Structure formats: C-alpha cells, structure tokens
C-alpha cells in the first residue's frame, strides 16, 4: 500500500475532458428505492483509508467512485471508440473486450467500435495492420477463449504518432487493456492529447497475472493464474511425497512481486517454503534456505518449494542489467539454479535427494478466465465505459476495498505494487509453512 502521507488530494483528482451535457441513455436514476439502478453522482468518493481508530478523525484522502454517470460528455450516436491490448497474455482479456463492446453497443448505443491490432504497434500507421471492427456478433463467444483476439505486443511507440493516429481517424475514446507498461504508455498518449487540447478520452483497464498494479487490490487474470498454479503445486507435492527425500520445486511467474507464488502456495496448502522477491533470505549458512530444507527432509522426508521467478536474483552470478521491450528487468533463471544448489548441498551433507522441477511458465496465463476473473472483467469493462462516456480521461479503473474507483494514470504507473511482508497474505504464508 502506498503511504497516504505521500499522496495529496490533487494527485487523486481525475482529469475530465469538459462539461458532460448529454443525458445518459441508461435506465437508472439518482434516487435509491425506486426500483432502478443508481447513477453515481460525480462527487461520490471512496475513502483511501476506511479503517479508523474510534475517536480519531478520519483522513479525507479519497478516490472518485466509478459507475454510470447521469450526464455524458460524448453523444453516443456520434462516438468512435478504439480498444487496444498490450503486454503479456493474461486470462480474461477477451472477456474485457467483449464486455466493452456489449456495454457500448447495447446499453449506450455506440455503433462505431474498433480494435487496434498487436498492441501499441497498431496505433503506429507505419507498423500497423488495419484496425478490426468490433461488433456484438464478432465478440459473441470470445470470452471462452484465452489470449486476445486483437493480438498484443510489448514495447514503446511514439506518443505523438499514436495521438495523431487517434485524432486523424476521428476516435473519441481509447481503452488500453494492459499492465504497468501499457498504462504508462496510455498516460503518455493522454498527456500528448492534452497538450494538443483534443477531446479524446484515454481509460486504462488493469491486466496482469502478477497483480502488481497500484491502487488495484486485484487485477484481472490473477485468480485464474493462481488456480492453474495451485494444481502444479499439488502435483509437485504428489511427486515429492512418493519418493524418499523428494523435493517438489515449482517456479512461478512473478517478476517483481510474489503474489502468484504466495497465493498458489496457500491455495494448495502443500508448500513448505515460499520464496518471493519482496522478502530477502539467506541461501547458505545455518539459517539459510538450504540448511532449513535439509532439516525438513531429515524430519519429514519430503518438501515442496515454491519460488517466484523474481526471487533470489542476488544469489546468481548471471544477473543481468538488461530490460525487455516493456521496460521490465530481464531475470536470471532462479529455478534451475535452485535445483542445482539443493542437489549440491544435499550431496555435501551426504543426504540423498531427488528434485522434481516444475516450470509451468506461460501455461498459467494462456488459459481462459475462471468465474472469479470473468466477473471482475465484466465489472471493470462496464465501469471503464461509464468513465469514458462521461469524459473522464488519463485514468484507470481501480479496485479499492471491493469498490471500483477512478485512479489517475500519473499515480498508478511507474511503480509497481508489491506483497507486503507485514500484510495478511504473506503472514498467512508464514503461518502455513512455518518457514
């Protein structure tokens, strides 16, 4: 969680394209109790810190609440919308595309929706394929499929070129479905649009199995990836337990954050050690991981180790300073390194060991969304449409204490959310493993 003293009310203020003058076509009202769903008044807020000590004053720091607005900035009949999907795959991308199209078309009456192809490349006319028309018919059954029907890519494109492309083709709204790198790109497009004083809304939808986007308690795709990863931890346990001194070693995605490793270990309930990037630990020595693993084998004759790919980077000589096209640090491969270290240290201690190594890799993110993620995708997408139609811009839909909120891209990007060593999730891992 970001320290609230580092935030000001101005930083949490969402940009708007101008006065909303068009009446929303949605059948909702501003009054509870009349049998209709409610519009969200524009001054409705969600407290940054809803917990408080009795008698102490509440902090006024708050987010704008998401939801349908009574008045729209855009006239639905004249609105042209673009969707782009960027970065690594993630379960639920097609669900989000589908819900955006259905909400825009059936509920708002927008008839002009397009999908740019292969990420931000699609907004660079020099590199692009033609955008794809998105109708309810086209998206009818895409939510049952993993991946993205639009294609994706990593990497930067010039904000000037992308803003020009949107303006040139008469787009009013751009939805950017992606992780931190994508939202950073969305922010640079929105900034260029603002510099040109164009009435184009840019709204982000937080996608990543790593669950590392700030001001978003859960990103879509995370729970599906955890469900897939849990089955691998269960299988690793079966392998480990079936032989004398078996070690089931599972490496899971999670570059800078150990959310997948921690949650998969907890869901499985079979992990004895969980290694994540946020919590430093010694490898060697009396209190090191290898000594503790040997102790576990000597007493229980099997062990399951779950390691996030970003963990233990300081141990490895091959640590590199390179970055990928999204600006992510390229990692040394902790899985095989750990396997070798376990084998060597057990051999030195004359302890026979068999390590069964599992690397499910992309498998956990290329599957269709589970029900929990499908529900989240549906709600994120519809809230994104409400925000964009009302003229909100340079923002993403966040999730805060189970409420959808509007988060300015300027504060949600550039730094990633990480697992807190003092937080509930990690403390539950410690309670399970006793590590």
Active site residues: 210
Report the distance separating Cα 54 and Cα 58, nearest Å.
10
Could you count the other beta carbons within 10 Å of the beta carbon of residue 155? 15
CA distances from 232 to 296, 359, 360 (A): 21, 9, 7
Query: What are the two backbone dihedrals, phi and then psi, of residue 66, each rounded to the nearest 5 degrees?
Result: -80, 165
Report the distance separating Cα 219 and Cα 214, nearest Å.
10
Which of 208, 211, 294, 418 contacts ligand F6P by CB under 6 A?
208
Do β-strands 28-29 and 22-23 pair in parallel, antiparallel, or remain unpaired?
Answer: unpaired
Which of 117, 365, 406, 417 contacts ligand F6P by CB under 6 A?
365
Give min distance, CB of 169 to ligand F6P, in A.
Answer: 28
Report the distance separating Cα 228 and Cα 264, nearest Å.
8
The verdict on 417 binding ligand F6P (CB under 6 A) reads: no
Q: Binding string to ligand F6P for residues 273 to 312, with x set by CB under 6 A, is what?
A: ------------------------------------x---
Distance of CA 430 to the CA centre of its chain: 24
Alpha helices for 208-364 (secondary structure H): 222-241, 259-268, 289-300, 334-348
Q: Quick one: 171 or 259, whose CB is closer to ligand F6P?
A: 259
The verdict on 254 binding ligand F6P (CB under 6 A) reads: yes
Tokens representing 287 are 């209190």
The verdict on 178 binding ligand F6P (CB under 6 A) reads: no
Give min distance, CB of 408 to ligand F6P, in A.
Answer: 23
Which of 98, 143, 255, 302 contacts ligand F6P by CB under 6 A?
255
The verdict on 359 binding ligand F6P (CB under 6 A) reads: no
Q: Is 64 left (phi over 0), alpha (psi -120 to 50) or beta?
A: beta
The verdict on 386 binding ligand F6P (CB under 6 A) reads: no
Which of 20, 177, 202, 253 contacts ligand F6P by CB under 6 A?
253
Q: Binding string to ligand F6P for residues 81 to 120, with x set by CB under 6 A, is what?
A: -------x--------------------------------
Query: Which residues, including other chains, have CB under 8 Å from residue 144's CB and lie 6 or more apart?
Result: 368
The verdict on 209 binding ligand F6P (CB under 6 A) reads: yes
Q: Quick one: 147 or 179, whose CB is closer to ligand F6P?
A: 179
Beta bridge partners of 81: 113, 173
The verdict on 213 binding ligand F6P (CB under 6 A) reads: no
Beta bridge partners of 45: 64
Using CB under 6 A, list all residues that contact ligand F6P.
88, 179, 208-210, 253-255, 309, 324, 365
């Amino acid at each position: 969680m970001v320290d609230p003293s580092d935030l000001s009310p101005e930083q949490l203020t969402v940009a708007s394209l101008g006065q909303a003058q068009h009446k929303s076509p949605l059948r909702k009202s501003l009054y509870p109790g009349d049998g209709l769903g409610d519009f969200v008044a524009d001054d409705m807020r969600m407290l940054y810190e809803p917990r408080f000590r009795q008698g102490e004053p509440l902090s006024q720091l708050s987010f704008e609440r998401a939801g349908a607005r009574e008045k729209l900035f855009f006239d639905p009949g004249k609105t042209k919308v673009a969707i782009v999907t960027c970065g690594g795959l993630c379960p639920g991308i097609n669900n989000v595309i589908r819900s955006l199209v259905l909400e825009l078309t059936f509920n708002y009456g927008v008839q002009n929706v397009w999908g740019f192809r292969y990420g931000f490349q699609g907004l660079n006319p020099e590199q692009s394929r033609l955008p794809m028309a998105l109708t309810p018919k086209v998206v009818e059954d895409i939510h049952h499929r993993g991946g993205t029907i639009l294609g994706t890519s990593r990497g930067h494109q010039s904000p000037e070129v992308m803003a020009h492309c949107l303006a040139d083709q008469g787009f009013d709204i751009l939805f950017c479905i992606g992780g931190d790198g994508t939202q950073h790109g969305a922010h640079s497009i929105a900034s260029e649009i603002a510099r040109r004083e164009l009435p184009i809304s840019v709204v982000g939808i937080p996608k990543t199995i790593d669950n590392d986007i700030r001001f978003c308690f859960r990103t879509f795709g995370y729970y599906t990836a955890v469900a897939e990863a849990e089955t691998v931890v269960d299988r690793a346990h079966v392998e480990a337990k079936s032989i004398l001194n078996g070690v089931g070693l599972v490496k899971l995605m999670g570059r800078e954050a150990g959310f997948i490793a921690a949650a998969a270990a907890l869901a499985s309930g079979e992990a004895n050690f969980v290694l994540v990037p946020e919590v430093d630990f010694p490898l060697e020595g009396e209190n090191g991981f290898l000594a503790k693993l040997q102790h576990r084998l000597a007493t229980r004759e099997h062990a399951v180790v779950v390691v996030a790919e970003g963990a233990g980077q300081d141990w490895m000589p091959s640590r590199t300073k390179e970055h990928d096209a999204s600006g992510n640090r390229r990692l040394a491969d902790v899985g095989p390194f750990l396997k070798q270290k376990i084998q060597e240290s057990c051999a030195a201690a004359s302890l026979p060991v068999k390590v069964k190594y599992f690397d499910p890799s992309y498998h956990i993110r290329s599957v269709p969304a589970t029900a929990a993620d499908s529900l989240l995708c549906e709600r994120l997408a519809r809230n994104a449409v409400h925000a964009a139609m009302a003229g909100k811009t340079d923002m993403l839909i966040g999730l805060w204490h189970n409420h959808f909120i509007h988060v300015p891209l300027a504060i949600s990007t550039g730094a990633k959310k990480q697992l807190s060593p003092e937080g509930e999730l990690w403390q539950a891992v410690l309670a399970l493993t006793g590590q």
